[in-house]
Amino acid sequence: MGIISNPFSLEGKTILVTGASSGIGRSTAIEASNLGARIILVARDENRLKETQAALSGQGHRIIAADLTDEMALNNLVEECGALDGVVLCAGKGLTRPVQFCDRSRFDEIFNINFFSTAELLRLLYKKKRLVKGASAVLITSMGGTHVFSGGNSIYGSSKAALDSFMKFAAKEFAARNIRVNSVCPSMIETPLIHSGAITEEQLAEYAKRFPLKRFGRPEDVAYAAVYLLSPASAWVTGTSMIVDGGFSIS
Ligand SMILES: NC(=O)c1ccc[n+]([C@@H]2O[C@H](COP(=O)([O-])OP(=O)(O)OC[C@H]3O[C@@H](n4cnc5c(N)ncnc54)[C@H](OP(=O)(O)O)[C@@H]3O)[C@@H](O)[C@H]2O)c1
C-alpha cells in the first residue's frame, strides 16, 4: 500500500452532512471543507443552510433542503446526491419529559427523526450504492442514553442508544464493501439543542462544573472527531462509538 501524504486530508472527497444548518452539523461541514472536501448540506431550513455554505472553504458545495422525516424527500435526496465518499448523519432533536408523560406520539416524534430517518437514509445510501467502496459513515449519537441516564431523557436517550446499536450492525455488514460505519457519542455540546429543553440556564451552568474539563463541549469538539472518522487516518476503525465528553464518564 502506498504512503498517504496526509492521512487526515479529505481532499477530493464528497461528503454529505445532515443537520448542516446548525450546531454540530454546521461545524462538521465547515471543518470537512477546511480539509478539502466538497460538502452536500442537508436540513430543512434553506436560509440557514446558505449561511453554512457561505462559511465553507473551497468550491463545489451543494445544498439539498429536505425534511428527513418525509419519505419522498428522503428518497429524492438519495436520487440527487450522487456518489459519496462519506456521510455525517447529524440531524436530530431533543426532548426532556418524565417517563410517565412519554406517550406514543412523543416517541414517534423523536424516533422518527433521530432513529428511523437516519437508519433509513444510511440503508438507502448503501443499497443504492451511493456510498463508494472505502466510504465512511459517521452517526452522531449521544452519551445520554448510552452511558448517562438523566431524568427526563428517556425518549431521546433510547432513540440515540438504538442508533448506536444499529451503527454496529451496519458496520459489520457494510465491511463487505470496505465501507466503515462509526458514531461520535458526545455529551453536552453548546448548541441550540441544549437550550431548547426543560433545563434552566442556572442548572446548565451548575452542570458544566461537573465536567473534569470544566466546560461543555463546543460544536468543533465533535466535528474534529467526525472528520477523523471520515478520513483515511481511521481506515482500520469501524463499529466504534467515540466518546467526546470532556471526561464526564470518568468523573
Ligand atoms: N448538543 C448536544 O449537547 C448534543 C449532545 C449529544 C448529541 N447531540 C446530537 O447531535 C446532533 C446535532 O445536534 P445539535 O446539538 O447540533 O442541534 P441543533 O443545533 O438543534 O441542530 C439540529 C439539526 O438537525 C436538523 N434537523 C432537525 N430535524 C430535521 C428534519 N426533520 N429533517 C432534516 N433536518 C432536521 C436541524 O435543521 P433544520 O431545523 O434546518 O431542519 C439542525 O440542522 C443531534 O442528532 C443531537 O441529538 C447533541
Domain 14-240 - what CATH class?
alpha beta
228 in catalytic set: no
Domain extent listing, the chain:
14-240
Query: Which entry of 156, 207, 224, 228 is annotated as an active-site residue?
Result: 156
Give the start-end residues of each E strand in the chain. Answer: 14-18, 38-43, 62-65, 84-89, 131-140, 180-186, 241-244
**If residue 221 lies in a helix (H) or strand (E), which one and from where to where?**
helix 219-230
Please state, for a pLDDT cut of 70, what percent of the chain lies above it: 99
Whole-number Cα distances in Å, 215 to 91, 206, 210: 24, 10, 8
222 lines ligand 1 (CB under 6 A): no
The number of the ligand 1 atom at minimal distance from the alpha carbon of 94 is 47
Task: Tell me 58's DSSP state.
Answer: S
Rounded to the nearest angstrom, the distance between the alpha carbon of 19 and the centre of ligand 1 is 5
pLDDT one-digit tens code per residue, 105-162: 999 999 999 999 999 999 999 999 999 999 999 999 999 999 999 999 999 999 999 9
Helices and strands per DSSP (H, E), number in the chain: 9, 7
> Half-sphere exposure (CA, 13 Å, Cβ side) for 19?
25
146 grid coordinates: 448510552
